[in-house]
Amino acid sequence: MLRRDIPPQTKTFEHFNFPGPVLAETPYGVPLYIVSGEKHEVLRVDILFRRGAYNQTLPLQASSSAAIASEATEHYSSARLSELVDFYGGWIQRAVYMHATLFTLYAPKRNFSKLLALFVEVLSRPRFSRRDLTLYKERGRSEYKQMYERVDFIAAQSLRKLLYTTHPYGTTAKADDFDNLTIPLLKEYHQKTCIRKNSMAILSGNIDDKTVEQTIDALAALPEPPEKEAEEAIYPLHDSTDRFVYDEKEDALQCSVRIGGIIKKETESDNPELSILNTLLGGYFGSRLMTNIREEKGYTYGIGSSITPLRYATSINIAAQCDLKYAGSLIKEVISEINKIKEIPVKAEEIESVRQYMLGEMNRIFDSRFTFADACLSMLINEQPFDYINRKAATLLTITPEQIMATARKYLHPDKMHVAVAGGDKQFGYKISQTLKE
């Protein structure tokens, strides 16, 4: 009989090995990474271009260009393209990051060649229809107006402005920015971005030699740049002199609190110790912030921290929503927890909990070929080497309380962090500002 009063046995992770994808040779220099082995008759192609929102000349140019390019091609209207993709059982996605633009195709293996041809036409011969742009603008304005009703979105936008001011990383968009989008503007971004020179690809799923050859041939159809492109501009990084910003929203039932800072003016994406420190602070359900501020104090239903590694800067972002009356206390507790990690060595059992959690999450990479491909894609987007995960696992197995404390002292400086709060009235905003001065 099953004994529910006896917990199941647990096993400690002692070894982790991420082999990385196989690199296929292409005659034109586009890296093609192969992640093979799935039993299901499904394939996925990810094509990543090394250009993103950082390179746009106006807000929304990058994301809007990718969206409109996916709508129609020179040979197929938006309705016909959508009909064909659905008929063949495919699915096309796109995503725009700060330094990358991604297009993804899911396809049944039996229809892979047909869907791959449509997919490549989307990338190489988009139509950029004025009708599609008009409809996109209408939807976009409506969505952005709704997003600016959410206190979490408002606070996140405000924190970006505090951290990066006029730098491209600090660019935010509003509903009115859709009015500035034009066909020539979107074409310009696409023609400079979706080119063979900037690209790399991942093919994952139930792969054989034929599907690899088809993918290599398809990548050859990607266009070359129309002209020689200038070197990427590098802009000066400086955060705002203001440490606090408040956005009033009287009808909000809760306020959103964002606390963050630039921790290094270059990428720290290849830093396992920083990732471990963030997990301990606020990166999982058993973290310091969740234990103190949610479980013990009851100030919020959820709070978390994240590290954002970008090419020219790395930042930390702590986010929570709470009742207006708890906002000041919540901010103070966040600062207190940061200072504790800097000053008091972490106990061995707490490190062990973080270690097992992170190793368990890392082993989820092997759940399927697509999750394996996701891990590869994440490292390419964050400009990390493929051995990063193995070094992260090795660091997890050996990290000491002294290393965690040293990492916290190096990167976490509450006196240099910024606070953005959205929700409540002017009087509430004044109270928070006074709390931060105490």
pLDDT at 269: 64
* pLDDT tens readout for residues 378-404: 999 999 999 999 999 999 999 999 999
- Contact at 8 Å (CB) between 43 and 205? yes
pLDDT at 267: 67
pLDDT at 88: 97
Residue 80 to residue 433: CA distance in whole angstroms = 55
Determine what percent of the chain is predicted with pLDDT higher than 70: 98
pLDDT at 274 over 70: yes
* Higher per-residue pLDDT: 430 or 90: 90
pLDDT at 268: 66
pLDDT at 118 over 90: yes
The mean pLDDT value for 351-356 works out to 94
pLDDT at 215: 96
The mean pLDDT value for 219-247 works out to 87
Do β-strands 314-322 and 255-264 pair in parallel, antiparallel, or remain unpaired? Answer: antiparallel
* Higher per-residue pLDDT: 389 or 11: 389
pLDDT at 334 over 80: yes
Q: Flag whether the pTM goes above 0.85.
A: yes
* Higher per-residue pLDDT: 118 or 434: 118
* pLDDT tens readout for residues 157-213: 999 999 999 999 999 999 999 999 999 999 999 999 999 989 999 999 999 999 999
Rounded to a whole number of angstroms, the CA Rg of the chain reads 24
pLDDT at 17: 87
Short-list 142, 139, 87, 90, CA closest to 115:
90
* pLDDT tens readout for residues 14-35: 778 899 999 998 888 899 999 9
Q: Minimum mean pLDDT among 29-38, 54-63, 85-94, 139-148: which range?
A: 29-38
The mean pLDDT value for 300-311 works out to 94
pLDDT at 412: 95
Is the Cα dihedral 210, 213, 215, 221 positive or negative? negative
The torsion angle over the Cα atoms of residues 414, 419, 425 and 431, rounded to 10 degrees, is 20
- Contact at 8 Å (CB) between 273 and 407? yes
The mean pLDDT value for 74-90 works out to 96
Provide the token pair at 3.
Answer: 């004994």
* Higher per-residue pLDDT: 140 or 29: 140
Provide the token pair at 361.
Answer: 């999450």
Please give the full DSSP string across 132-189, using - where no structure is assigned: HHHHHHHHHHHHHHHHTT-HHHHHHHHHHHHHHTTSGGG----GGGGGG--HHHHHHH
Residue 4: CA atoms inside 13 Å, Cβ hemisphere, count?
A: 0
